Structure 1
Amino acid sequence: MKLVLIAIGLTLSCIWAEEKYTDKYDSLNIDEVIANKRLLNAYNKCVLDQGKCTSEGRELKSHIAEGLKTGCAKCTDAQHKGMRKVIKHLMTHDKNVWRQMVEKYDPKRVYSTKYEKELKSLY
């Protein structure tokens, strides 16, 4: 009986570990969004609850807190790369928005400090 329970537990943990966020929006061109101030501003306002959200914005916003806590464990490769680009862009070119996002999603700066250090060392 114990062996059956262990096998079920291992199977469920493998299934859970492989769960990823939807890749539905992975083809979104992050460089294009960053280059378009109006579009980037709309996404920022969505994520900060200061404006309307597109379906992409709602999807993004629904995973930010969990993504920060888990190191984006459920992110696809494209989402990891996009997250890094956007965070680096905000840290470098739009510090006010970055500060607002940190205040909203990581007020104790538990996770954002780690990502800031990591990204600064890469560029």
Structure 2
Amino acid sequence: MKGIVCVCLFAMAAAALARPDGDHYTDKYDNINVDEILENSRLRDPYLSCVLDVGKCAPEAKELKSHIKEALETHCLKCTDIQKKQTKKVIKYLINNREEDWKKLCDKYDPDRKYSKKYEDELKTVKA
């Protein structure tokens, strides 16, 4: 559940605010240290709670949440290059380390698995 916030944070950092021109999400949060958030449950959990509608939302998490579905459906079409890189990092982390959180996120934002399957196929690592 906490990892989903990370995914969201990633898609989150990538999908925060829409630019006035509508072509991209704002780059306001591009400098977020995604690795630090993924590794620290105290930082990760609030994002997850927000994205899953089970907790309060900080302004940046609320903005992220408002773009998650679109970013997932379009494979991050409106994301900056940094946001795309961060999003892949978060999703890869969730798929490979926080499977239950990834499932909850998919259940909420992609229940038919139309879009999340692409990420799973691309980012799942072989575990020995």
In the superposition, the TM-score normalised over structure 1's length comes to: 0.80
Please, which runs of 5 or more residues in structure 2 have no aligned partner? 1-20
Deviation at residue 67 of structure 1 after TM alignment: 0.6
The count of aligned residue pairs is 107
For residues 90 and 45 of structure 1, the distance between their equivalents in structure 2, rounded to whole angstroms, comes to 15
Alpha-carbon distance between aligned partners in 2 of 1:82 and 1:59, rounded to the nearest angstrom: 16
RCO comparison, higher one (Cα < 8 Å, 6+):
2
Aligned to 2:43: 39
**C-alpha root-mean-square deviation of aligned residues, in Å?**
2.0
Tell me the equivalent position of 1:119.
123
Bigger Rg over Cα: 1
Task: Measure how far apart 1:34 and its partner are.
Answer: 0.7
Structure 1, unpaired ranges of 5+: 1-15
C-alpha distance in structure 2 between counterparts of 1:120 and 1:102, whole Å:
15
**Residues 77-88 of structure 1 aligned to structure 2 (within 5 Å):** 77-88=81-92
**Shift of residue 37 of structure 1?**
1.1
Distance of 1:27 and 1:105 partners within structure 2: 25
The percentage of aligned residue pairs carrying the same residue is 53
- Residue 82 of structure 1 and its aligned partner are, at CA, apart by 1.0
The answer to which of 80-89 and 112-121 deviates more is: 112-121
Q: Distance in 1 between matches of 2:86 and 2:24?
A: 15
> What TM-score do you get using the length of structure 2 for normalisation?
0.77
Pairing 1:23–2:24 present: no
Structure 1 residue 21, shift from structure 2 partner: 0.2
- Between Structure 1 and Structure 2, which shows a larger proportion of helix residues? 1
Paired AA for residue 30 in structure 2? D
